[in-house]
């Protein structure tokens, strides 16, 4: 089975952990162990991942005294290469003799997407309100509340095409486990002369992963995070895990707007025709989720 496995931010950084190389390597090692079990079970994998904390930190580090720094598309390419390298290194060490490859991935978006007028995608660390407002003034950022603190927000346009999908498909047919579309991919738009150019944005990782799975004609979209399932009434005493969600009937607006809603939207989109499967669950449970024993499956027929 061809599976597009999307690693949530927890694959590189657990909640509350400092963004250090040691922490990232430790968490990538844990992610690689779970992914290796899927490969050992005979599945072909294409791996995607988030990059929010990493790209936000790089944006801070590269900004000069006037607040100007490298554009987000360039920072996205840097973090995609860095994180892909770490995942590839750990997998290669775990599964000697297998072939792995990291591919920088361009993702086309519409330059007139309404998202550019209303940034919503969080990147970088959280700040107290006063510091966030100061940084916004100094660097021309847009900021928004994230819980009790504030973070930078950037445009998150809808992905329209994974430009390297044919190359990824070729590598998969040759038995290569591909790490790609990191952080939602590098956002690019059409030029009048028919070329492409990068644009300041961060594409939602889950939406890009679902589109990639569609273009590859994958059998399954597996969204891996740090919770065991999707919960109804999340945060309330009545909260309970959902073993199955009907993708043709789900209302994504009923779920928290943070990390879970885009995952549910992506899973529902990919599995809505009833021919393809999607699931959401905890990274450590990846093999059991694929087997239908854990996590939340997206299927018209309840499991």
Residue 284 bridge partners (DSSP)? none
**Interhelix angle for 165-173 vs 205-216, to 10°?**
60
* Beta-strand pair 121-127/149-154: antiparallel
For residues 66 and 68, give the distance between their C-alpha atoms in angstroms, rounded to a whole number: 6
The CA distance from 284 to 1, in Å, is 19
| Whether the Cβ atoms of residue 2 and residue 222 lie closer than 8 Å to each other | no
Give the Cα separation of 288 and 224 in Å (integer): 12
Catalytic residue among 8, 9, 50, 56: 9
Task: Determine whether 93 is an active site residue.
Answer: no
From the candidates 10, 51, 183, 295, which is the catalytic residue? Answer: 10
Q: Is residue 108 annotated as a catalytic residue, yes or no?
A: no
68 CB-near residues (< 8 Å, 6+ apart): none
Catalytic residue of the set 205, 281, 294, 295? 205
Rounded distance, CA 116 to CA 142, Å? 11
Instruction: Give the 3-state DSSP-derived string for 244-301, with helices as H, strands as E and coil as C.
Output: EECCCCCCHHHCCCCCHHHHHHHHHHHHCCCCCEEEEEEHHHHHHHHCCCCCEEECCC
Q: Is 263 a catalytic residue?
A: yes
Among the listed residues 263, 281, 294, 295, the single catalytic one is: 263
Whole-number Å distance between alpha carbons of 171 and 284: 26
**Residue for token pair 């928290």:** 256
- 184: annotated active-site residue: no
Are the beta carbons of 286 and 37 closer than 8 angstroms?
Answer: yes
Active site residue 10: yes
Q: Which residues are catalytic?
A: 9-10, 121, 205, 263
């Amino acid at each position: 089975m061809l599976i597009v496995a999307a690693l949530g931010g927890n694959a590189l950084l657990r909640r509350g952990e400092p963004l250090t190389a040691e922490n990232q390597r430790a968490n990538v090692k844990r992610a690689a162990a779970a992914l290796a079990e899927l490969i050992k079970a005979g599945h072909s994998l294409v791996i995607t991942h988030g990059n929010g904390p990493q790209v936000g930190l790089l944006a801070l580090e590269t900004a000069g005294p006037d607040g100007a720094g490298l554009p987000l598309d360039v920072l996205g390419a840097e973090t995609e290469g860095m994180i892909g390298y770490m995942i590839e290194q750990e997998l290669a060490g775990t599964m000697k003799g297998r072939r792995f490859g990291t591919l920088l991935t361009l993702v086309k978006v519409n330059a007139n997407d309404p998202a550019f007028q209303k940034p919503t995608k969080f990147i970088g660390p959280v700040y107290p309100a006063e510091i966030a407002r100061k940084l916004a003034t100094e660097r021309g950022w847009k900021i928004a509340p994230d819980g009790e603190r504030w973070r930078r927000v950037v445009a998150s346009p809808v992905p329209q095409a994974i430009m390297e999908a044919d190359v990824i498909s070729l590598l998969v047919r040759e038995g290569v486990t591909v790490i790609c579309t990191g952080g939602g991919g590098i956002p690019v738009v059409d030029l009048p002369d028919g070329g492409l150019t990068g644009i300041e944005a961060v594409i939602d990782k889950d939406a890009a992963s679902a589109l990639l799975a569609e273009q590859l004609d994958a059998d399954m979209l597996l969204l891996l995070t740090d919770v065991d399932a999707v919960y109804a009434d999340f945060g309330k005493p009545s909260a309970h895990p959902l073993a199955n969600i009907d993708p043709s009937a789900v209302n994504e607006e009923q779920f928290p707007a943070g990390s879970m809603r885009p995952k549910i939207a992506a899973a529902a989109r990919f599995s809505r025709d009833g021919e393809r499967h999607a699931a959401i669950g905890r990274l450590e449970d990846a093999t059991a989720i694929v087997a239908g024993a854990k996590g939340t499956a997206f299927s018209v027929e309840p499991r």
